[in-house]
Each structure stands twice: as structure tokens, then as C-alpha cells.
Amino acid sequence: MKKMLLALSLSGALLGGSVAWAEEAATATAPTSDVAVLETAETSPIETTNATEVAAVAEVSTPEAAESEAVLDTGDTAWILVSTALVLLMTIPGLALFYGGMVRKKNVLNTMAYSFVAAAIVSIVWVIIGYSLAFGEGNAFIGSLDKVMLAGIGTEALSGSIPEILFVIFQMTFAIITVAIISGSIAERMKFGAFVAFIAIWVVVVYAPITHWVWGGGWLGNDGALDFAGGTVVHINSGVAGLVAAYMLGKRMGLGRESMAPHNLTLTVLGASLLWVGWFGFNGGSALGANGAAGYALVVTQVAAAAAAIAWLVAEKLVRGKGSVLGAASGAVAGLVVITPAAGFVTVGGALAMGLIGGVVCFWGITALKRALKADDSLDAFGLHGVGGIVGAILTAFFASEFIMGDAAPSNLMSQLWVQVEGVLATIAYSAVLTFIILKVIDLTIGIRVAAEDERMGLDLSQHGERVE
């Protein structure tokens, strides 16, 4: 709890324009070597010389010197190159089509533009400062500014067995889809300019710090939180931000009185299919190598998506009398979200169970829970990504397997469960509070919701001067 409060206090520093850096979580000490001095009754000059040479060699042969240098692996590099393209494919065109098909015809271009502009804005912000704050050494809560504008990252710099510059763009694609997911909650009523301003700030103030907590050497990763490919960093983070944004924007005009039916489910199914394929790069690429871990991540990703699609269809059939095509697509996405934090840690059996559970729980999330929350989460970003991310993060503690993880597997279920819950709660709290503050500031300056007449006209015309015939 203390760490969660410290993390929240970071928001004031980031928004205030100056960073009050916390002290380093661990202070590096200068390498030392112990030289054993052997005393003998008589020591000849030759023996003395030999002993001195041995001591010198021992001093040079420190663990740091003996450690082999990182070496570029062309196979790993090739796989991450492909994975990077696959993850970008998830946003443009995957998520753009998935969301675009679910809105009314008068808002389809605007909705797809959210994903497209996310790719543009986040790419620039990421190389300027986002990557440095997320993966710079820094402290337990935020990275440093040492890699602003990718300073010091040349073509020869490595991150593990791949070029660091490749790691930069691979992680950039994760940041892009995270902010694009949020657009599902605010579709059909947010000013386009306000959305652009929001994501430019949000990726720095919210996404980068949480990424550092989990993957950049921060406190959650050090506590042992398991998040293989982004259950907390991507899905809970974006889902909660979307829910807060939906509350702040208010409900769409005519909701509950007018038809809000999707205008083209063909686009949605196509988008969901591209998301499914792209997720192989999302989860498989997170192994950061062309190896068995990547292969296993692909298998459990496929199994969880398939199981969740089936579970969703069964639940929908029981509740509504028919299993819909939209339900099958949503179920598959739910399974992909749920398996994301666990993809490198669970067996096929665990993935099957997580997919079945995730499909049912996310169906509940976009129906009963959505009604209870009374928020107009337009395209169910919270119901799928927020709820799915929470379920996946928690179930990871139960299904993390020694068969897959070896000695790195959690030794105590309750201890690991608490660490997972701690990560979930910290992400929810930080994302919710900071999202509210950012949107409030934007609302007080340029406003966040379009005028009533613009909303009735449709955002394609009112925001872009275009429409689909």
C-alpha cells in the first residue's frame, strides 16, 4: 500500500513540470574481490612471485569480467522484426476496423481515425521521451531522462540478443495500441483535438511510469509481479482509463431511445481476425527471442482465444437465445486479453481454463457489470480489456506452472496472488486518478465533448468534413 501511495504521488511531479526523483531502490556498490593470503612457514621468492600473479589474475577475474558480453542473435532479431510488424497490424488496421464497424455510419471515419492518429502521435512522443521514462534506469517508480531522443542508442547497442533500437520500436507498438484501446470507450462523442491532446500527455504521464514499474526495473517487477505481455501495462491500464473517460464525457445523445446498432459488422469481424493474428506478435514477441518460449506462447494464445470464443457463444446462447457473430469476435478478443499476462508462464491446460473463464467473465463484464456501472463505455473497452486484464492478471498466479517456468515459478501461491492483486490495484488507482486529472485540465481549456449539434450531425462531418456514402 505504501508503494501504491508513493506511485500516486509521482503524478504531481509529472504534471507539475518537474520531477522529484525518488532515491534509487538499490545502490550499486563498486565491485570488490577478496584475495585469500596463504601463509607458509617459508616463502621463496619464486613462490611469492607466483602468489602475486595468481592474486592479480583472481582480481581481474571478477564475476563482472567473467560474464560473457551480449551477442547479437540474428534469429531473435528476425523474429522481433516480424513481431513488431504484427503488433502494429493490431492497431492499424486491426483495432481501427474492429471499432469502426461497431459505431454508427456517421461516426466510422472518426472512430478509425482515433487508432490511426494514435500510431502517429505515440510514435513521436515515444522516441522523444516515452521510451526513456519507461526503460531508462531511473528508480523504482520512473525511468531516467538519459535516453531522451534515443540518446546513446546506436546500431550496435544491444538489449539482450537483439538491437536496442529494435526493442524501442517493438515497445512503441505496445504503447500505440494501449492508447488506441481507450478510444473504444469515448467513441461517437469526444472532440478529435481533445483526444489528440489527451493521448500525447497520457502516454508520458500514465503509460510510461506503469511500464517502468513492471518491465523497466520498477517496483512491481522487483516484487515479482508476473506480466508477460501486458495484462496490467496495456489492458487494465487502457480499460480503466477508458472507463474514467466515459464517465467524464457522459452518455451519448439518445442512448436507450435511439438505435446504436453497429453499422457494419463485416468490418468488425475482419478487425477481430487481424487482432487475433497480430496477437501472435504481441505475446510470442514478448519472449524477445526465436525460441521455445515464443512457440509455447503462440500455442497458449491460440488455445485461450478459441476457448473464450466458444465460452462466450455458449453464455450468449443461454442468456439471449442466440450466439452472435459479434459475440464470437468479442469472445476471441476476451481470451486474447486474458492470456496476455500469462502467455509465457502457463501450460496448454492452464490456457484452456483461462480462456473458458475469461470468455464468461468478460461477457458478464459487457452486460450485467456495464449496466451496474451506468457508464456509456461505447465499444466495451473496459468490459473486454479492463475486466479481461484483471481476470488474466489474477489467474496467472493460479496457473503459473513450474513445467514452463522451471525454478522461476512462484513457490507460494498466496504470496504470488497478493503480488498480482497489488499490481492490479496499483494500476487501477494510478491510471484512474491521472486520467481524470488530464481530462479535467483539457476540459477546462479546450473542452472534451463535441457540441450537441455536432454529435447529431456525426463526427465524420463535424470533426473531419468527410463522410462515408
Average pLDDT over residues 338-354: 97
pLDDT of residue 259: 87
In a domain, 58, yes or no: no
CATH number at residue 445: 1.10.3430.10
Percentage of the residues of the chain whose pLDDT score is greater than 90: 84
pLDDT at residue 7 in the model = 52
Q: Which of 231 and 54 is assigned the larger pLDDT?
A: 231
User: Does any domain span residue 60?
Assistant: no
Whether 280 has a pLDDT exceeding 90, the answer reads yes
Q: Does the pLDDT at position 64 exceed 50? A: no
Range 305-311 average pLDDT: 98
Share of the chain above pLDDT 70, in %: 86
Q: Is residue 29 part of a domain?
A: no
Rounded average pLDDT over 112-122:
97
Flag whether 38 is in a domain. Answer: no
Q: Rounded distance, CA 16 to CA 441, Å?
A: 12
| pLDDT at res. 329 | 97
Does any domain span residue 16? Answer: no
- What is the pLDDT, as a whole number, of residue 469? 80
Q: Tell which wins on pLDDT, 46 or 123.
A: 123
- Considering the domain boundaries, does residue 317 fall inside one? yes
Going by pLDDT thresholds of 50, 70 and 90, the confidence category of residue 69 is confident
Per-residue model confidence (pLDDT) at position 16 = 46
How many separate domains does the chain show? 1
The per-residue pLDDT for 65 is 41
In a domain, 25, yes or no: no
Q: What is the pLDDT of residue 184?
A: 96
Residue 267 pLDDT exceeds 60: yes
pLDDT at 55 over 50: no
Answer yes or no: are the C-beta atoms of 79 and 294 closer than 8 Å: yes
What's the domain range around 186?
A: 74-461
Mean pLDDT, all residues of the chain: 88
Over 90: is that where the pLDDT of 50 sits? no
**pLDDT band at 38, cuts 50/70/90?**
very low
463 pLDDT more than 90: yes
Give the pLDDT band (50/70/90) at residue 4.
Answer: low
Residue 396 lies in a domain: yes
pLDDT of residue 70: 82
Output the pLDDT for position 62: 45
